[in-house]
Amino acid sequence: MPFNLPILLTWLRIVAIPLLIALYFLPASWLTQHERDLFATLLFIAAAVTDWADGYLARKLGQTSAFGAFLDPVADKLMVAAALIVLVQLGRIDAIIATIIIGREITISALREWMAKIGAARSVAVSMLGKVKTVAQMTAIPLLLYHVPLFGIDVARYGNWLIWLAALLTLWSMGYYLHMAWPEIAKRTADEA
């Protein structure tokens, strides 16, 4: 297993997951709800920044690796799933939103793995639609974690709009990826029949 700065940043993102969850299970006398929300928001934003930084540094330093390419999206999906579950627990999003987003990530990850195994990974390469979904999701989550107005802006309301938009884009992008993979799926199914 290679170890370098980009992979270290990815591992730090994974380590941040239990920290994010633990913030909400600390005794009430240790942190106020606002302090928990603030620290969780900052932790999530830091994780999002390391997501960008690890990819950039891997390319810039020539430290890309198959292990890093595997670990990076796993860390992203785990961090998002943990944050969504925390938000459901806090009553800030509906469970259906978390189910849609987490379910899509599992489905598309499995689809990509299968397509790579059969040599057709290009059919399900990341699309612009997937990137827009990610931006909406990664903007919504910190807004929903922070939750209270900031400089007079109702961040919770904007976070809610964005997370619903992310859920719709999630379904749309899942349909897109499945559509792109369908010819290969149909061909394999016919071959096995």
Output the 3-class SS for the chain: CCCCHHHHHHHHHHHHHHHHHHHCCCCCCCCCHHHHHHHHHHHHHHHHHHHHHHHHHHHHCCCCCHHHHHHHHHHHHHHHHHHHHHHHHCCCCCHHHHHHHHHHHHHHHHHHHHHHHCCCHHHHCCCHHHHHHHHHHHHHHHHHHHCCCECCECHHHHHHHHHHHHHHHHHHHHHHHHHHHHHHHHHHHHHHC
Quote the Cα angle for 33-37-76, to 5°: 145
Q: CB-based burial of residue 183 (10 Å sphere; 0-12 exposed, 13-18 middle, 19+ buried)?
A: exposed
Q: Return the residue matching tokens 């270290």.
A: 8
- Tens-digit pLDDT profile for residues 149-158: 889 899 999 9
Alpha-carbon distance of 50 to 8, in angstroms, equals 10
Q: Please, what is the angle between helix 5-23 and helix 66-89, to 10°? A: 10
- Tens-digit pLDDT profile for residues 18-68: 999 999 988 889 999 999 999 999 999 999 898 888 888 888 887 878 787
Please check the confidence at residue 123 and state whether its pLDDT lies above 70: no
Alpha-carbon distance of 180 to 20, in angstroms, equals 36
> 164 in the Ramachandran plot: left (φ > 0), alpha (ψ -120 to 50) or beta?
alpha
The region of weakest confidence among 84-88, 113-117, 156-160 is: 113-117
Q: Which of 89, 51, 95, 58 is nearest to 73 (CA)?
A: 51
pTM for the complete prediction? 0.88
Q: Which of 94, 78, 172 is nearest to 133 (CA)?
A: 172
Indicate the pLDDT class of residue 138, thresholds 50, 70 and 90. Answer: very high
